[in-house]
Amino acid sequence: MGEAKGLNIAVVGATGAVGQQMLRTLENRNFPIKHLTLLSSARSAGTKVTFKGEEYVVQEAAPDSFEGIDIALFSAGGSVSKALAPEAVKRGAIVVDNTSAYRMDTDVPLVVPEVNEEDLRGHNGIIANPNCSTIQMVVALEPLRQQYGLNKVVVSTYQAVSGAGAAAVAEMKDQARAILNDEEFTPQILPVGSDVKKYQIAFNAVPQIDKFQDNGFTFEEMKMVNETKKIMHMPELKVAATCVRLPVETGHSESVYIEIDQEGVTASDIQQLLEKAPGVVLQDNPSEQIYPMPAHSVGKNDVFVGRIRKDLDEEKGFHMWIVSDNLLKGAAWNSVQIAESLLRMGLVEEK
Amino acid sequence: MGEAKGLNIAVVGATGAVGQQMLRTLENRNFPIKHLTLLSSARSAGTKVTFKGEEYVVQEAAPDSFEGIDIALFSAGGSVSKALAPEAVKRGAIVVDNTSAYRMDTDVPLVVPEVNEEDLRGHNGIIANPNCSTIQMVVALEPLRQQYGLNKVVVSTYQAVSGAGAAAVAEMKDQARAILNDEEFTPQILPVGSDVKKYQIAFNAVPQIDKFQDNGFTFEEMKMVNETKKIMHMPELKVAATCVRLPVETGHSESVYIEIDQEGVTASDIQQLLEKAPGVVLQDNPSEQIYPMPAHSVGKNDVFVGRIRKDLDEEKGFHMWIVSDNLLKGAAWNSVQIAESLLRMGLVEEK
């Protein structure tokens, strides 16, 4: 069990879609693990999970589960994080939380390593992993902010169903089968499990992700607005989002319009800047029909950017198309990347 | 064959997806037809088509096909319109052309009846029907332009596969079946039949509709830019578009950000204005999860508008979500509506 030297890692929500990707990512990165603890809700406890060829039995998460843990990766829903993250911190663990429970707390760093890794130094035990659709956007925008200044962002998303969990993916596939076979079906999960009305997702586009707020924006849209400002340290940035769920299994896409501060910048300047930007893969060659697509992003850690065009009227305006695997850079990979940063920055030490 | 009094109507492309919708729309509207002529390419000639319970044999379109025709509805591709629309006009027909062949010609009115019906008076024989994604957007924006002035439009589209024809729909369904059954498949049609590379459309999002232009925008995107300015008589309007093809059979959706000229306008003002706007159905009640969706727009002539929100930073900025059946208001219904306008305005007369 585990290596000679390494960290004691707990994964909370180990049986979920993101938890499974966290385990695959820890394997692929060969993350130095001394001891691995797999935790879940009572419902999933007892499930057997394989990691590096060894079988683990998932245990029900409880306060004492975190004794001796160095880093706990949480992805079991906001209520689990609310209840157990403070217990983990009390016992000396650093929590990397993939839920929205703590993201906007002023004493909790909200971190995308390519953008604001240094914010990790100020942590008080809990570090928040941003919303999937926010992460991929700020990775692409941060190099532009640094080089040209950033003033305004208008984003329309094309979001995959796996962001709503494995049951939502199964629902989409069942609906698609029913429609192709000309059979009846009753939507049961999407757009929002806890909302009253359910709508068809297969062969449809649903402009609601998460619940509506009083201002008419959804919670998902306000996450993109508020988290982008916090991660980029730009409370004054103008941001607006329209978030739409699509019949795509994995891979979020975003149509993004920005206005930068500097004049005289060309699309080619931005392409050259993003070509060498950390975490970004430029896929932008219209004459060869090269542009990012969700089906090609699955299983990859990168943020893919293409369709970069200067606005036809606004000297400081640009359009781009940003795609990434929502379960990896949007969740599991960003969380593991934060753990790697903590280690490299000496904020946690191998035993 | 036909009614006692009415017009001699020709439908060119009668066997295609839009042509079929034109026939259904002429039936549903009980359009006064004296004699109906169904035309197509040589390939589809001989096909039998039913109209109002009578069977018609589709004939190969030729210059002489238009002798005695009052209105010819063209939807058989740009090259057919280029070749035969002038021949139809020469023989006294008014052509309503659903292709892009003549849309930007200065002597050809480009008409959406709710917006610029009066432009029909200046026609020289050919009237162009705009691009599907343009039509639904200008129907929603024209009332705002009239009331508040319009300065800027940034649109991201979520376009259905039926816009690329019946073969593309079949390809999407075949791919979906293959993916659900874990079988191999080879994309053959989308994104653009005449382009080299073909990409998966099922469970994917493809940011290319029509060919790329030298400025990095696609032809579809430039249609939205140029046609919007022409229809709204606003050459100075700032417009930019990102057009994306989705695995949706029918129903285009659009996430639209606009900046109006007037200050102090609220989302509620815009809702009230659009509630009584011609051709628009307001579906905008977040607390009841009411918003437009493509799956609910199929078979309806209306343009559905919802998710109307004031921008969080820009006093004159608003966001909205616009959905319509791309084969109806986006094509067949708008063409038949133009024919109805010609009749009502006395620009053509029943015999």
| pLDDT tens track, chain B, 351 positions | 444 689 999 999 999 999 999 999 999 999 999 999 999 999 999 999 999 999 999 999 999 999 999 999 999 999 999 999 999 999 999 999 999 999 999 999 999 999 999 999 999 999 999 999 999 999 999 999 999 999 999 999 999 999 999 999 999 999 999 999 999 999 999 999 999 999 999 999 999 999 999 999 999 999 999 999 999 999 999 999 999 999 999 999 999 999 999 999 999 999 999 999 999 999 999 999 999 999 999 999 999 999 999 999 999 999 999 999 999 999 999 999 999 999 999 999 998
What is the rounded average pLDDT of the residues A279-285? 98
- Which CATH architecture best describes the domain B7-130+331-344? 3-Layer(aba) Sandwich (3.40)
pLDDT of residue A186: 98
Contact assessment for residue B253 and residue A207, using Cβ atoms and an 8 Å cutoff: yes
DSSP per residue, B163-225: GG-HHHHHHHHHHHHHHHTT------S-S-TTSS-----TT--B---SPBPTTSSBHHHHHHH
At residue A10, does pLDDT exceed 80? yes
pLDDT tens digits, B121-159: 999 999 999 999 999 999 999 999 999 999 999 999 999
Give the tens place of pLDDT for each residue, A98-141.
999 999 999 999 999 999 999 999 999 999 999 999 999 999 99
pLDDT for B4: 65
DSSP secondary structure string for all residues of B65-119: GGTT-SEEEE-S-HHHHHHHHHHHHHTTPEEEE-SSSSTT-TTS-B--HHHHGGG
Tell me whether 0.85 is exceeded by the ipTM: yes
Nearest to A173 among B180, B288, B311 (CB): B180
Contact B244, B147 (CB under 8 A): no
Instruction: Tell me if the bond preceding A247 is cis, omega within 30° of 0.
Output: no
Q: What is the pLDDT of residue A4?
A: 65
CA A281 – CA A304 distance, rounded (Å): 5
Rounded to whole angstroms, the Cα distance separating A305 from A320 reads 7
pLDDT on residue B60:
97
Nearest to residue A181, comparing CAs of B260, B177, B1, B295? B177
**Binding annotation of A for phosphate:** 103
> Using a CB-CB distance cutoff of 8 angstroms, which residues of chain A are in contact with residue B289?
191, 195-197, 199, 208, 212
CB B42 within 8 A of CB B351: no
Q: Which CATH number fits domain A7-129+331-344: 3.40.50.1360, 3.30.1370.60, 3.40.50.720, 3.90.1150.10?
A: 3.40.50.720
The CA-atom distances, in angstroms, between A30 and each of A33, A303, A346 are 8, 21, 18
- For residue B6, say whether it is annotated as part of any ligand binding site: no
Q: What is the residue extent of each domain of chain B?
A: 7-130+331-344, 134-326
Mean pLDDT, residues A261-271 taken together:
98
Based on the residue annotation, tell me whether B132 is a catalytic residue of this protein: yes
CB distance A120 to A111 below 8 Å: yes
Known catalytic membership, residue A123? no
Task: Give percent of chain A with pLDDT exceeding 90.
Answer: 98
What are the residues whose beta carbons fall under 8 Å from the beta carbon of A118, sequence distance 6 or more?
A: none
Please enumerate, by residue number, every residue of A annotated as part of a binding site for substrate: 159, 245
Distance of CA B154 to CAs B221, B296, B317, Å? 11, 25, 11
CATH code given to domain A134-326: 3.30.360.10
Query: How far away is chain B from the Cα of A226, in angstroms, using its nearest Cα?
Result: 11
Q: Which of B164, B85, B92 is nearest to B128 (CA)?
A: B85
Amino acid identity at B269: D
Whether residue A196 has pLDDT greater than 80? yes
Distance CA B245, CA B210 (A): 10
Q: What is the Cα–Cα distance from B40 to B54, expressed in whole angstroms?
A: 18
- What string of DSSP letters covers A207-239? ---SPBPTTSSBHHHHHHHHHHHHHTT-TT-EE
Chain B nearest CA to A224, separation (Å): 13
User: What is residue B5's predicted lDDT score, i.e. its pLDDT?
Assistant: 87
Phi, psi of B7 (to 5 degrees): -110, 150
Nearest Cα residue to B62 out of B44, B78, B39: B39
